[in-house]
Amino acid sequence: MHKVNIKNGSIMKLSMSQQASDPNALVKILEKLSNNEELDIRLDMARNPNTPIHILEKLSIDEEEYVRMAVVGNPAATKKILKLMSCDEDDYIRGRVAFNENTPLSVLKKLSKDIDAEVRGYVAEHQKTTPKLLAILSMDEDDNIKTKVAFNPHTPIDILQKLSTNKNYEIREAIARNPKSPVNLLVFLSKDESWQVQNILAQNPNTPKDISEKLFKDEDMQKAVSDWRFHQKYHDHFD
């Protein structure tokens, strides 16, 4: 099946793949192509931001996960489509829904209880996630999720204070990076035993100047940073 297009006075025949990705394709043509057995055709249509919503809804339950992934990433995907796809059996697709900036809060709340930790992690770093929901996620058994909560600028101060004593240095490091961490918490972390935390604090523009200067002059911390960079360079060279 070919569609004839006129461009610059010349006649062109578009392949099915070109029609599927054509921003000016007729709806009736796209409807017919949505039933095509060729994966690439349905994939091109799922990526096309001009594909009509009712066709995207159909493709959102396509048997091929690659097609469904493309629908999630389509800027035209509606809240209704994202809600539908939050129930997808594929962990990766649910994760992409949780990552999508257009996903409504009601869906994020649901995904915050997802069995897959990576999905919950995307909720923890989403900018629509409420302080109340972040407080709940801060009690997640997975430290990676706590780390994402610690870095989210919407996390309540009392939750950051609680996480600042966590034994996992990466969680404390995330607090040191958080642009909304209060000064008193940054001062508290300046005494942290982890050089990683101290190094981040030294670079945080919100850290009091006298503390930053003191950390930059700390020989033990600077040696630890230097050793780490050397080992990273060594591993990168032989990888």
Q: What was the pLDDT predicted at 38?
A: 87
What is the rounded (10 degree) CA torsion for 162, 157, 135, 102? -140
Last residue of a domain, one of 77, 109, 134: 77
Token output for 211: 């503390």
Last residue of a domain, one of 54, 77, 100: 77
Q: What was the pLDDT predicted at 12?
A: 39
**Residue 221 falls within a domain, yes or no?**
yes
**Residue 220 falls within a domain, yes or no?**
yes
**Residue 134 falls within a domain, yes or no?**
no
CB 73 within 8 A of CB 96: yes
**Residue 56 falls within a domain, yes or no?**
yes
Domain hosting residue 226, numbered range: 154-239
**Residue 109 falls within a domain, yes or no?**
no
Q: What was the pLDDT predicted at 25?
A: 73
CB 42 within 8 A of CB 48: no
User: Which residues of the chain are under the pLDDT cut of 70?
Assistant: 1-14, 219-221, 224-239
Token output for 207: 């850290």
Work out how many domains the chain is built from and give that number: 2
Distances (CA, A) of 21 to 3, 29, 92: 12, 11, 24
**Residue 110 falls within a domain, yes or no?**
no
Last residue of a domain, one of 77, 99, 120: 77
Tell me the per-residue pLDDT of 56-69, one tens digit each, with 9 for 90 and over: 999 999 999 999 99
Rounded to a whole number of angstroms, the CA Rg of the chain reads: 24
- Tokens 């990705």 identify what position? 21
**Residue 120 falls within a domain, yes or no?**
no
Other CB atoms within 10 A of residue 138 CB = 23
Contacts of 229 (CB under 8 A, 6+ apart): none
Tell me if residue 85 falls in helix, strand or coil: helix
